[in-house]
Amino acid sequence: MGHLAYYFLPTILLLALIRKYRESKWGKCTNAVQLNGKTAIVTGANSGIGLEIAKELAARKAQVILACRTLDKAKETCIVIQQNQNNASVIPMELDLSCLKSIEQFAEDVKKNHKEIHILINNAGVSYPNSRRIETIDNFEIHFGVNYLGHFHLTNLLLEPLSNTSGKSRVVVVASSLHERGEIRLDDLNSLQVSHRANLYANSKLANVYFAQQLAQKTKDMNINVYACCPGWVYTGLFRHTIKWYHFFVITPVAFFFMRSARQGAQTPIYCATEPDLENETGLLYRDCKHYNSKAIFYDNISTKLWIETENMINRVLNR
C-alpha cells in the first residue's frame, strides 16, 4: 500500500503539472471590456465553443442572439443562461445554415428588430466522415455549405446593421488551423468528383479564412473589422460523427494533455470580439489570443474567384 502511493502520487502530480503547463500556452482573454448597449449574434450557440462565447458576451452585458438550428433547444439554453446570470439579455432565434431560405428569414427578422449589430460570431460548424457524400437542403456538400457558404450568405445579408453602428463592429470567423491542410478546387467547389473528397472539413475551413480576408478588404470603409481565428483543439461534440466509441481509449489520454475545454476554446474568439488592441486590425488570423502565422499560402486570384463563384452558386439556388 505504502509503495503504491509512493509512485502514484508523484505521477498524478506530474501529469497535473504538464496539463497546467499546456494550459498556460493556450492564451486567455484578459481584457474586462463591457458590452452594455451592444448586440451580438453567435451561430451554433447551443453547445461547445458557441455556448461559452454566448455566455461570456452576455456576462459582459451584451444583448446576445443565439442563432441555432433547433429553436426549442435555443430557448432552453437561454433559460439556463438566465438562471446563472441575473439579467442576462439572451434571445433565441432559429437559423439553419444548411438552408439559404432559413438564412434569409433569419437575417430579415434580425434586421426588423435590430438596427445595429456590433458583433457577429460565425461559429457553427459540422464535421462528418469523408467516405459518404452528405448534402445540405440546397445540395451543397455539407462542410462547404454549412461551415462556409451559409456563413458567407448570412454575413453579407447583415452588412447593413453591422455597418450602422457608432463604433466599429466586428465579424469573427471561427476557422481552424486545419485550414492549412485544405484545398480550394475552383473547378469543383461542391466536391462532386469523388477524387476531391480528401479533407472536406479542412477545405471548408480554408474557405472560411479566404472569406475573412476578402470580406476584410470589402468592408475596409464600412466600419467593420473581420477576424479569423482558430480556437485550438477543443473537447466538444464536433467530431461525434467521425469518432467511434473505441477511439476513446486513445483519445482520453491525448485529450488530457492536448484538448481544451469549451471555455478555454472560446478564449480566442472572445478576444477577437472584444480586445481593444485589435481595433485597427482586420483580415488577420488569431490563435491562443495572439496573431497566428498560417502555413497556408493564400492567392489573390483564388480569393477573388472563390468569392464570385460562391455568389453565383447562391444566386443559382435562389433563382436570381
Which residues are known catalytic residues?
201
Residue 169 contacts which entry, ligand NAG, ligand NAP, none (Cβ below 5-8 A, type-dependent): none
Angle between helices 248-258 and 2-25 (to 10 degrees): 60
User: Which residues from 167-186 bind ligand NAG, rule CB under 6 A?
Assistant: 186
Q: Any contact of residue 195 with ligand NAG (CB under 6 A)?
A: no
- Segment contacting ligand NAG (CB under 6 A): 149-157, 231-239, 253-261, 274-282? 274-282
Q: Which is nearer to ligand NAG, 87 or 319 (CB)?
A: 87
Contacts of range 107-112, beta carbons closer than 8 Å, 24 or more positions apart: 107/154, 107/157, 107/158, 110/41, 110/65, 110/158, 110/161, 111/158, 111/160, 111/161
Q: Which is nearer to ligand NAG, 56 or 96 (CB)?
A: 56
Question: Cα–Cα distances in Å, from 27 out to 230, 249, 291?
Answer: 12, 28, 11
Q: Is 71 exposed, middle or buried (0-12, 13-18, 19+ CB in 10 A)?
A: middle
- Residues at the contact surface with ligand NAP, assessed by CB under 6 A: 43-44, 46-50, 69-70, 95-98, 123-126, 146, 174, 176, 230-231, 233-234, 236-238
Binding residue count for ligand NAG, defined by CB under 6 A: 13
Using DSSP's 3-state secondary structure scheme, residue 246 falls into helix
Could you say which of 221, 301, 319, 320 contacts ligand NAG (CB under 6 A)? 301
Could you say which of 113, 258, 299, 312 contacts ligand NAG (CB under 6 A)? 299
Q: Which is nearer to ligand NAG, 97 or 189 (CB)?
A: 189
Q: Which is nearer to ligand NAG, 258 or 299 (CB)?
A: 299
The 75-94 site mask, x for binding ligand NAG (CB under 6 A), equals -----------xx-------
Evaluate whether 148 touches 75 at the Cβ level (below 8 Å): no
Beta bridge partners of 228: 173, 285
Contacts (Cβ under 8 Å, ≥6 apart) of 226: 170, 171, 172, 173, 212, 213, 215, 216, 219, 282, 283
Residues that bind ligand NAG (CB under 6 A): 86-87, 115-116, 160, 164, 186, 277, 279-280, 299, 301-302
